[in-house]
Amino acid sequence: MNKKEIRKGILPYAALIVVMLLIIYFFNVLNLKVNVLTYDKFLGALNNNQVEELTILPSIDGGIYNISGKLKDYKSNEKFQTTAPLSDEVMKQITSANEKYEFKINAEGDPNGSPLLVILVNFLPIILVGGFMFYILSRQIGGNNKSFDFGKSRAKLDDSQKKVTFDDVAGLKEEKEELKELIDFLKNPKKFTKLGARIPKGVLLVGPPGTGKTLLARAVAGEANVPFYYISGSDFVELFVGVGASRVRDMFRQAKHNAPCLIFIDEIDAVGRQRGTGLGGGHDEREQTLNQLLTEMDGFGANEGIIIIAATNRADVLDPALLRPGRFDRQVTVNLPDIKAREEILAVHARNKILDKNVTLNNLARRTPGFSGADLENLLNEAALLAVRRNKDHITMSEVDEATDRVMMGPAKKSKKYTDEEKRLVAFHEAGHAVLGIKLSSANIVQKVTIIPRSYAGGYNMMVPKEEKYTATKRELLEQITGLLGGRVSEELNFGEITTGAHNDFEKATKIARAMVTEYGMSDLGPVQLEQQSESVFIGRDYNKSRNFSDIVAHEIDEEMRKIVGECYKQATKILKENSDLVKLIAEALLERETLTKEQIDYLVENKKLPPEEEGSKFEDMTLDELKDLAKEKEIKGYSKLSKDDLIRLLEANDVEVEKEDE
């Protein structure tokens, strides 16, 4: 803690002490009882040994003494006061009585010789109290209390030392190309104005969460090396109507003073939703804020050199006036990364991590379709945490596999115990999915099968597409449905019983079948779109669907869905009957190993048996200190500075045996 912070911490306590002392002083003054005595009574008390304490003060005007003090029968808050002629006779009487009775005398100097003393005594308390009250009020109205700052902008200027550039943004090649024009304009605007070109006033970044929209905006500011203001859309909206509009005005006023600059508004859908929607007709505060934002972006005034970048994952709910040319001229869609982009993102996040030589980023990118940049960063972080937890000095494929499962399905519930019958049923269920994934030519590739429960699933198949595509054929969709039904079919064929374990499979299969009939035109009803997503702006979600068909057509849709699912069920039954031995083989292997990888499944299909299990090191369960003690006991040199893995290799090279305790 520096000296400035220490002073700021002590100051309130010092001020509190001063106030308490002043309160005590004035309390004593107000409660003091003063008895006015005549000069004769004072002399009587003086000569009768009744005086306990005496204070003599010459008056400012001169000619008299102001005498005050306490008599012996007075209380603690009581004193007397009198006046006496300014003469030697008075002082002789007081001196004589003091020599006889020995009471306390306080003789003050002449106030005429020190006018400053009078000022201090009479006015210093008032000055101190007034100064303290002024200080408190100034602090309340100033920066410490935000009650008077409602209308001020909450946009913060990014003054971090480390600038984010496009080198820190992996993938997003086309998106970065779109935004390079903004950087060129901020660096050299004359190149554009010379040909009459107008740079977009606003750029809207649209995409799923975690795809890097905010990082991309920071990189634009870092590349352009201009002031970068950032704010969330929710920071504009307050309880009082008009506050948000005032903040918008103040934000643009600050930006004009620092032009050229960038303003980044995150989650703009919080303030930019369509006007006039919702119960009661709308939201006055949000709509006034939006109106002010529209005016500032492209109204009567000009905002030269100010570029707005906004991000949202709900562009469908934004007001049309916000998306017209002159406001957000350009929309840049930031999609989920493809395999090449995922490999680049993994390379960025693996810079500060120590990976085993067997961990290849290309293989990891192939196993993570549908992962966003944030998911990939979280995956490597989870793998690093697992490696630390296991006392390893680098991240192996084992940690990467476990981290992938954690991100997708949650942590394994190894403590959850199956009954033998339930475990066998789950094994055959997952084996049914795996066999259909192997036998169907257009199905996804089986990467991993496990019967270890995670989240709400008793087991699961990790299946990835052979290649990533933007479209899907009717055959591929039908085989996806067939693969999803494999678990239920396997249960029915092998046990003559069905369970609730396939409910999530049915949910996915039904969704695909309905989309084929109502949206994709892949049924006997013809190439027509019978349903479409209807955006409900009021609740901000795709809550319902608009129906463009009669009740008769609704019945035909249900029949077509049943037909598609029924045919896929028959196909799954046929394939699993023909490959019943393979289903049983994979199920028995799952009961033995609980988890099978793609390599193990391929070996199992080819050789009809599991590959020999790699034996783990006999030292794996020992701690680093235990390993060092063992090396010391066996008189092995050079062990003290080795890591756990290197020490294990050293012990194995010396054929050291571990003594097992008698059971």
CA–CA separation, 415 and 357 (whole Å): 32
CA–CA separation, 95 and 54 (whole Å): 11
Whole-angstrom Cα Rg for the chain: 43
Whether the CB-CB separation of 609 and 589 falls below 8 Å is answered with no
* DSSP SS3 for 458: coil
| Active-site residue flag, 588 | no
- Closest by Cα among 168, 160, 172, 324 to 227: 160
Whether the CB-CB separation of 169 and 216 falls below 8 Å is answered with yes
Query: Could you say which of 267, 287, 296, 430 is catalytic?
Result: 430
Half-sphere exposure of 434 (CA within 13 A, CB side): 33
* DSSP SS3 for 94: helix
CA–CA separation, 443 and 27 (whole Å): 90
* DSSP SS3 for 652: helix
CA–CA separation, 148 and 153 (whole Å): 12
Sheet hosting strand 228-232, strand order edge to edge:
156-157, 228-232, 261-266, 306-312, 202-206, 330-333
Reported residue count of the chain is 663
CA distances from 482 to 265, 570, 596 (A): 45, 9, 22
CA–CA separation, 218 and 157 (whole Å): 12
Terminal Cα distance for the chain, rounded:
58
- Closest by Cα among 77, 85, 83 to 34: 77
In the DSSP assignment, the letter for residue 467 is: S
CA–CA separation, 509 and 433 (whole Å): 13
* DSSP SS3 for 72: coil
- Closest by Cα among 96, 114, 102 to 57: 114
Contacts 24+ apart (CB under 8 A), 630-635: 630/656, 630/658, 631/656
Residue 323 backbone dihedrals phi, psi, to 5 degrees = -100, 0
Residue 228 backbone dihedrals phi, psi, to 5 degrees = -130, 110
Whether the CB-CB separation of 257 and 301 falls below 8 Å is answered with no
Which residues are catalytically annotated?
Answer: 430
